[in-house]
Chain A
């Protein structure tokens, strides 16, 4: 489903701030795989997500989604394959627009937009049903502005918007990190259920080790722009936080440097 070959990315080349953010990354995802990604600060996790979604472009290497080469395809064109949820709850919705208008925008992800009304009567019914699946009462608030929602509610809405049109690829970059533990748990549960239900091919960055182990069927650890550990479904079932930390130390010869790491959930 996703093929990343020999991808590297350098920021500020030739300047004193030069930074090799990604170095010869190879990653192949099969359809339906749910991969969690952990790694130290500045490991290049967000950069990888941005390269996949077309916010940034690789200096060398190639990326394809399905059978489509997307290496130089601009972000807006690539969006037809990709659903995304950002870390910042503000980032995923348009605050001055209503919930139904936000959903209408998401419904046309990657499609042509014309002069027909964004929110049609039939849509409303469908939106309501979709919102109801979140189970947090948003289905009665179609006309409420997204800016009025709490962080958790907004993140749930963003998750719905990213997934209800069944993207080929779902990218989640620490999408629960800005929430309090209870809200984070809610979004995690919703994520698990939605990914399962639509069998979405998913990449999820998290700082929560326990979560990274519990969710998904493959785990990747990144450090200094490289993938240093890639654990498949079989092995992952037996994985514990201690084993993971031990693996990191064994490979890097140093403790995991991550000021935000959460060991347990």
Chain B
């Protein structure tokens, strides 16, 4: 019933999902851990892609180019953090301002709107697509996940989490929350840029527009993951975020196979996020109503007997 085209598409989505999962982990760090809705992501994803592409096409080793991309993302995040903490500008606006600034900066970095990498050696050149790719990249993504899990349990990590959870409390224990915010937003955008750098190498090009809408995709991954796989412990949430990112790609692939117009994908993404956000509330409400109804019936019975 399903042609081999379908499975190829699913495989490819799975591969991409793993690469985007790194970006989703970054979004998790700001949105969930720091409680800082950071929109820098749309810009810093492209920054990562652009730096890697320009690095590789000008002869840099792909690994060096990728590391440079990570540094670029961290720097972008640091700027957002500083705009917010030093400039006292609210988080959303700080992110938007940095995102806009990055649009110009990215074009400066890349020099043109699109850089092809087709005949260049990238990190993935010697890696066959398919099973091997999924195994190797999957392992890499898991390593990143475990490093983040571990980091969030260190003294700095605890301070970072407490900053998002109860800033007043953590200040009273001697943490400068301005610093933890800058560290957290930098870390987040470093991950996002790494994801951008890897996706560019995977797809064989970097595009100025590749980051557009990335924040919503990241959020979708976080929210889908949490909704389906739960969020009891950190290790569990980060795993849920990875799965959410892959699942999101698979949903899109299925939608494309069902001949949803590719221009409608962003609309579909928005709908998925709205759905995943409202679902737990609706489910909770229904449960609440059912309990209330049951109690009302019970109480009526007691009243009738008395």
Contacts and interface: CB of A to CB of B under 8 A. Distances in A.
A233 B267 CA distance: 72
B154 A109 contact: no
B171 to A, nearest CB: 6
Interface of A: 53, 74-77, 79-80, 82, 84, 86, 90-97, 101, 104-106, 108-111, 113-119, 161
Given A93-B169, A113-B159, A76 B154 contact: no
A79 B166 contact: no
Contacts, number: 83
- Which 3 residue pairs across A and B have the least CB separation, nearest first? A79-B174, A113-B155, A94-B165
A187 B171 CA distance: 23
Most central of B155, B162, B172, B176 by chain A CB within 10 Å: B172
B144 interface: no
Chain A CB within 10 Å, residue with most, of B159, B168, B173, B175: B173
Nearest to B157: A118
A115 B166 contact: no
A76 B171 contact: yes
A84 B172 contact: yes
Given A91-B169, A94-B165, A114 B154 contact: yes
A91 B169 CA distance: 6
A75 B172 contact: yes
Nearest to A115: B154
Contact of B154 (A75, A86, A117, A161): A117
A104 B150 CA distance: 15
Given A104-B158, A114-B155, A74 B176 contact: yes
Contacts of B174: 76-77, 79-80, 108-111
A205 to B, nearest CB: 16
Contact of B170 (A80, A105, A118): A105
A75 B165 contact: no
Interface string B136-159: 000000000000001101111111
B151 to A, nearest CB: 7
A94 B161 contact: yes
Nearest to B159: A113
Contact of B155 (A74, A116, A161): A116
B161 A96 contact: yes
A94 B169 contact: yes
Nearest to B179: A76
B155 A104 contact: yes
Contacts of B156: 113-115
B151 A79 contact: no
Contacts of B170: 94, 105
Contacts of B154: 114-118
Contacts of A113: 155-156, 158-159, 175
Nearest to A118: B158
B159 A105 contact: yes
B153 A96 contact: no
Contacts of A77: 174
Given A118-B157, A119-B153, 14 more contacts: A75-B172, A79-B172, A79-B173, A79-B174, A80-B174, A90-B166, A94-B162, A97-B162, A104-B155, A105-B170, A105-B173, A111-B174, A113-B159, A118-B153
